[in-house]
Amino acid sequence: MLGSLPEVFFEVRRVVITSDASVEDDTAHRFHLLNVVEGDGVEVAPLDGPAQVLTYAETLVIPAAVGPYHLRRLGTERVRVVKSLVR
């Protein structure tokens, strides 16, 4: 028999990028798991490091130590990213 967890310890959020403006985020000492589910993809760039390109159906783990980062869409169409993180 499978038991249930008394509390869900993670969150799942959807990020939708429809313009060329970058979306700011911060790991706040928690790792983030990003997955592109629609569109060409995103460029993920920490404030003090090189950017990483993440295309459709790819997944990227952002270490908790990264801190602030931004997402910028690739292409001209809407991009949707699913972000998971521990609460």
Hey, where are the domains in the chain?
10-86
Asked whether the predicted pLDDT for residue 10 surpasses 60, the reply is yes
**Widest CA span of the chain, in angstroms?**
49
Given a cut of 80, whether residue 69 has pLDDT beyond it is: yes
- At 35-46, the pLDDT tens digits run 999 999 999 999
- Percent of all residues in the chain with a pLDDT value above 70, rounded to a whole number: 93
Amino acid at residue number 46: P
Residue 61 confidence (pLDDT) above 90: yes
Mean of pLDDT values over 2-22 = 85
pLDDT at 3 (0 to 100): 64
Q: Is 10-86 a domain of CATH 3.90.230.10? A: no
Structure tokens at 5: 């967890």
In the structure, how many helices (H) and strands (E) does the chain have? 0, 8
